[in-house]
Structure 1
Amino acid sequence: MAPPWVEELHFHQLNIPVTIHQTVSVTPSRPIPVKHGDSLYLSNLDDMIGARVFTPTIYFYQSDNLKFCQKPVMETLRDALASVLVPYYPFSGRLRETKNGKLEVFFGPEQGALMVEAQSEMALAELGDLAAPNPAWTPLIFKFPNEEQYKVLDMPLLIAQVTHFRCGSFSLGLRLCHCICDGLGAMQFLGAWAATAKTGLMVITPEPCWDRELFRPCNPPMVKFPHTEFMRIEEGSNLTMTLWQAKPIQKCYRISREFQTWLKTLAQPYDNPACSTFDAMAAHIWRSWVKALDVRPSDYMLRLTFSVNARQKLNAPLKDGFYGNVVCVPCVTSTVSELVDGQLPETTRLVREARLSVSEKYLRSTVDYVEVERPRRLEFGGKLTITQWTRFSIYKSADFGWGTPLYAGPIDLTPTPQVCVLLPEGKADSSCSMIVCICLPESAAQKFKHNLFMMNSTDENENTSTKLS
């Protein structure tokens, strides 16, 4: 029997006991080009309200690959981190606000990255299938006692927890401050740290480049687009209340390349320009999610936002080693009724147009909008945000000498239940399937699955009903 085109992934309900043995501050192993009291400029792309977060990721490694290690895991990682913090010295600083509320990196005494060593009496096999992110893995990521959500000021900008399991395997739980790097920048840093750990020698390719001043605002600022993505919209629907009060659960689905290809054909807009796989998937997920949540009233205006890497949109190319934020967040709007009762190709067209609207002018306008408005809170009204990780080399970048991880990616989306993440399938998969990870109330989960699998489509039932599970 052929493998299913779309498959729900289930994860274990776990309680992972973790004992912390030590916390260590890691500082650059050699002098860096700043002194105590110095500061570094952050662009408004680094300082968007959505970037004022830590991005948690986890990596699992098998004990079989540790047989020939010369040094303990913690020591290997710590020594390599101290080395790469020389060229990546901003990670050893802290964030502070200036008078107008803008962030900057500053350098003072007793700073540095933070490494934590922990032990669990569980074996890695007891965690179950590592194909999909599991909120139960949260103890494998270090948080300070009583740490406030979204706290980034005066925090280590890199926090790493090494957790040893009973079987000899281990996990590396990372928290990187999004203000310092976007997804591609994080992969660049992670790759340098991993290659340095693997070889025992400093491996920095490409040479990291700060250059955040390239994105200074105009004087005076010139906002040329409405930037609906940032606007405060009063929640006039049942969407946000349904999600946040119902304690949503995390759901994950494996989407095969065959389904993606088929969906792309089905979702192709009626005009000529072709849509991308992302356009089709984003439109389909958005419609499926809103239908499942039974959003009311029907004339309420919804928003779909997603991240677009704007590097290729710039007239003057950035240096290869630039690792700051070069991300725009275009926004698609639609009423509930237009989205639910309309045709998938029309929704796909809206997503495609928003994606293609990102230009250098749009990016510069974003910079100036943040300069003028300086949004201070995340806005959730009527919004779903889709983040695409499928193009990140997260598995390849995380080979520290113990092979590629069994799983690499996020853990828990439930603290931000209006975010959906598209993840690459694990290292063993070469079929270009993806994992869709999204949050839903229990009452809406079955309906979302029904919509996502397209069980309501007559053509779908005739052609693919045996390929859904």
Structure 2
Amino acid sequence: MTTLSPIPSMQDLKIKFQLSTLVFPSQETEKKSLFLPNIDQILNYSIPTAHFFLPNKDFPPEFVGKRLKIALEKVLVPYDFMAGRLKLNYKSGCLEIDCNGAGVGFVLASSEFRLADIGECLVHPNLGFQQLAVQKLDCLSPQVDQPLCIFQVTSFKCGGFAIGMSMNHILCDGLGAKTFIENLASQAFGHEKPLAVVPNNDRRVLAARSPPRVEFPHHEFLKLDSPIGQGSTPPIFDCNLEELNYKIFKLSPNDIKNLKNKAKNDAKNTKVTSFGVMAALLWHCKVFSCNVNYKEDGLSTLIIAIDIRQRLNPQLSISYSGNAVLPKGVSVTYNELEKGPFSNLVEKISEGAKGMTNEYAKSALDWLEIHRGVPHGDYVVSSWLRLGFDEVVYPWGKPIYSCPVVNHRKDISWVFSDGFDGGISALVALPAEEMNRFEALFHDFFT
């Protein structure tokens, strides 16, 4: 079990930007407004990722840039909303995507480093990786709306390269992004090849019922009591900008095995997963790193993000391109969280996931229709374990590593495969003092 910290020398990757432009669909697309269900409305922020590739003599970085640009132009036809812009429907107070073909961002850059210079830092929440997935185009004037997604190809001295992607979360969830990337890769082969998956862009399948029927208490949302309808605006699920430390907390395969055994001791009938034990551990560490003074009988809530595609009736197809992830809250007292058996936390997380049924999901969508709330709890933990970004086959091969890029959201942790020894890692962002306590709690858990 280890924790890994950013290395100061790697916070600046010595990037030179060579091209910053817009890419448009290769053929004219229908001008329309895309309806966004309540899941999408609260996700108006960017998720940057970085995908690293070894040198390939047949595909030098400059050639990869050309191929990727052509592939983008092709794939933006079936994914026309990606090239659109957000707009507010003043009548409903809801966001929509104006599918106007305004384009996505495309950036070419180079680094003075080789991939070998970064070395094991590839698994760090390296602050320099922010330079690999820029979130705005400086070439655009302030009067021009920024694109909803930006793609960046950065070459390294060794001939290796990184593809950075910064996507507004409104566009898609993790599975939607994986499908988009598979389609993008399929179109980069340079010959007529069908899409890996034809996307289903109809988001009305996740619209609230009419009239809405809220059948469960939804403690995972905070009711904001903001106005709804004409003149209103969607709630913002964001956090204050503050100085944060970033660290990766890693569990080796042996750590995972030991935690699973610990969880199974008292929870014979609970399905114990790698995500479940990591989420329980993160929950414990986060809560007591931030809450020095707490009431033992007070409730602590963990929010887990659950894909509902296979939980709905009828099921949503894997081709659904939007967001099909809902938050689900699980709660225990602070006393249980601190002194209760670890198995109890893992069991709560497992049972919470089981509770995301067709009925519960539709009730949540209806609750958001009425109250316009945002997810609310002590911590949000989201799994990237099954996304498989590093399994996507490009003409130049698979990524050697794919990872989220650091961000300012201290109340969300992403759990992902570390890409090397079969372990899993979590990206944690906290103020310095809280990070020190979090790290101590994490280590103490194994002593």
The alignment's TM-score, normalised by the length of structure 1, stands at 0.83
Q: Comparing 158-167 with 194-203, which one deviates more in the overlay?
A: 194-203
Distance 1:244 1:90, change over 3 A: closer
Note if 1:384 corresponds to 2:382: no
SS at match of 1:86: coil
Distance 1:159 1:71, change over 3 A: closer
Runs of 4+ in 1 over 6 A off after TM superposition: 243-246
Post-superposition offset of 1:7: 1.9
Q: Is the 8 A contact 2:67 2:190 kept in 1?
A: no
Note if 1:140 corresponds to 2:140: no
Distance 1:335 1:248, change over 3 A: farther
Of 226, 232, 238, the residue aligned with 2:217 is 226
Of 261, 264, 284, the residue aligned with 2:257 is 261
- Code of the aligned partner of 1:417: K
Distance 1:66 1:103, change over 3 A: farther
Q: Is the 8 A contact 1:12 1:127 kept in 2?
A: no
Distance 1:158 1:143, change over 3 A: closer
Q: Is the 8 A contact 2:267 2:343 kept in 1?
A: no
Residues in 1 aligned to 2:310 and 2:61: alpha-carbon distance in whole angstroms? 42
Note if 1:172 corresponds to 2:168: no
Residues in 2 aligned to 1:269 and 1:331: alpha-carbon distance in whole angstroms? 24
Summarize deviations over 1:208-244 as a string: whole Å, max 9, x none. 11121112211111122222222159xxxxxxxxx97
Distance 1:102 1:442, change over 3 A: same
- Code of the aligned partner of 1:65: N
Residues in 2 aligned to 1:420 and 1:209: alpha-carbon distance in whole angstroms? 29
Summarize deviations over 1:235-290 as a string: whole Å, max 9, x none. xxxxxxxx979833111132122221221221237454223212222112211222
- Code of the aligned partner of 1:102: C
- Code of the aligned partner of 2:381: I
What is aligned with 1:105? 97
Residues in 2 aligned to 1:81 and 1:160: alpha-carbon distance in whole angstroms? 9
Distance 1:379 1:363, change over 3 A: closer
Note if 1:15 corresponds to 2:6: no
What is aligned with 1:60? 52
Of 58, 63, 83, the residue aligned with 1:72 is 63
Residues in 2 aligned to 1:283 and 1:441: alpha-carbon distance in whole angstroms? 21
Of 204, 207, 211, the residue aligned with 1:213 is 204
Contiguous gaps of at least 5 residues in structure 2:
225-238
Summarize deviations over 1:46-104 as a string: whole Å, max 9, x none. 22x1x211110011223x31445597222111001111111111111111111222111
Q: Is the 8 A contact 2:247 2:428 kept in 1?
A: yes
Q: Is the 8 A contact 2:4 2:124 kept in 1?
A: yes
- Code of the aligned partner of 1:422: V
Summarize deviations over 1:87-141 as a string: whole Å, max 9, x none. 1111111111112221111133x60111012233333333342123312221222
Distance 1:276 1:155, change over 3 A: farther
Distance 1:107 1:18, change over 3 A: same
- Code of the aligned partner of 2:414: V
Percent of aligned positions that are identical: 29
SS at match of 2:258: helix
What is aligned with 1:436? 426
What is aligned with 1:239? none
What is aligned with 1:416? 409
Of 307, 310, 321, the residue aligned with 1:309 is 307
Residues in 1 aligned to 2:76 and 2:404: alpha-carbon distance in whole angstroms? 24
Q: Comparing 186-195 with 174-183, which one deviates more in the overlay?
A: 174-183
Q: Comparing 268-277 with 212-221, which one deviates more in the overlay?
A: 268-277
Distance 1:163 1:363, change over 3 A: same
The alignment's TM-score, normalised by the length of structure 2, stands at 0.86
Q: Is the 8 A contact 1:305 1:386 kept in 2?
A: yes
Q: Is the 8 A contact 2:272 2:346 kept in 1?
A: no
Post-superposition offset of 1:349: 2.3
SS at match of 2:56: helix
Note if 1:45 corresponds to 2:39: yes
Q: Is the 8 A contact 2:270 2:347 kept in 1?
A: no
SS at match of 2:201: coil
Contiguous gaps of at least 5 residues in structure 1:
1-5, 148-152, 234-242, 462-469
Summarize deviations over 1:412-460 as a string: whole Å, max 9, x none. 03x001111111121xx3x53111221234344454344334x45xxx6
Residues in 1 aligned to 2:390 and 2:14: alpha-carbon distance in whole angstroms? 26
Post-superposition offset of 1:403: 2.0
What is aligned with 2:72? 81
Residues in 2 aligned to 1:412 and 1:70: alpha-carbon distance in whole angstroms? 24
What is aligned with 1:296? 293
Q: Is the 8 A contact 2:215 2:360 kept in 1?
A: yes
Residues in 2 aligned to 1:187 and 1:245: alpha-carbon distance in whole angstroms? 29
Distance 1:133 1:66, change over 3 A: farther
Distance 1:367 1:155, change over 3 A: farther
What pairs up with 1:321-332 in 2 under 5 angstroms?
321-332=319-330
Q: How many residues of Structure 1 are paired with residues of Structure 2 in the alignment?
A: 423
What is aligned with 2:390? 395
Distance 1:319 1:144, change over 3 A: closer
- Code of the aligned partner of 2:299: M
Residues in 1 aligned to 2:261 and 2:113: alpha-carbon distance in whole angstroms? 46
SS at match of 1:432: coil
Residues in 1 aligned to 2:439 and 2:118: alpha-carbon distance in whole angstroms? 25
Distance 1:269 1:229, change over 3 A: farther
What is aligned with 1:161? 152
Residues in 2 aligned to 1:7 and 1:297: alpha-carbon distance in whole angstroms? 29
Q: Is the 8 A contact 1:94 1:105 kept in 2?
A: yes
Q: Is the 8 A contact 1:269 1:346 kept in 2?
A: no
SS at match of 2:310: helix
Distance 1:213 1:385, change over 3 A: same
Q: Is the 8 A contact 1:92 1:156 kept in 2?
A: yes
Of 364, 369, 372, the residue aligned with 2:362 is 364
Post-superposition offset of 1:145: 7.2
Distance 1:301 1:285, change over 3 A: same
- Code of the aligned partner of 1:435: S
What is aligned with 2:282? 285
